[in-house]
């Protein structure tokens, strides 16, 4: 108990720095995983899945988009802003390969 009283302020500063660092990392990782686009005339979720889904099954990609945008149906409107799951950056893949993981 004497240690906490003696070093309380230092422990509080360390705790706050750690908490803010973790919060910043989590926020950055969440925002990096989303891309926003504006729907053009003739777009559909299935067309967007072919353009942005890369190697993912279109149905699975559409499900992710619906969850990201709190959608109940697959209907989208021209001019609407839509959040899409971002693809994995090439640099992260390269770092993983260099580290020896598959």
Express as a percent the part of the chain with pLDDT over 70. 76
| For residues 1-9, average pLDDT | 78
The alpha carbon of 48 is separated from its chain's Cα centroid by a whole number of angstroms, namely 18
Point out the least confidently predicted range of 21-25, 84-88, 91-95: 91-95
Express as a percent the part of the chain with pLDDT over 90. 33
Handedness of CA 94, 65, 25, 101 (dihedral sign): negative
Q: Check residues 40 and 100 and name the one with the higher pLDDT.
A: 40
- Stated as kind and residue range, the H or E segment containing 37 is strand 34-38
Q: Which token pair is 63?
A: 């499900």
State pTM to two decimals: 0.54
Query: Does the domain spanning 33-102 belong to CATH 3.10.350.10?
Result: yes
Which of 64, 41, 61, 43 shows the shortest CA–CA distance to 52?
61
Residues 47 and 58: beta-carbon distance below 8 Å: no
Q: Residue 81 — pLDDT band, cuts 50, 70, 90?
A: very high
Task: Quote the Cα angle for 17-22-26, to 5°.
Answer: 150
């Amino acid at each position: 108990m004497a240690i906490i009283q003696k070093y309380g302020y230092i422990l509080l500063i360390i705790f706050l720095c750690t908490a803010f660092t973790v919060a910043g990392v989590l926020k950055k990782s969440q925002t990096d995983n989303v891309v926003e686009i504006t729907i053009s005339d003739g777009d559909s979720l299935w067309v967007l899945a072919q353009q942005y889904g890369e190697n993912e099954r279109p149905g699975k990609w559409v499900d992710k988009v619906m969850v990201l945008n709190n959608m109940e149906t697959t209907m989208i409107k021209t001019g609407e802003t839509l959040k899409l799951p971002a693809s994995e950056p090439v640099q992260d893949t390269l770092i993983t390969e260099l580290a020896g993981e598959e």
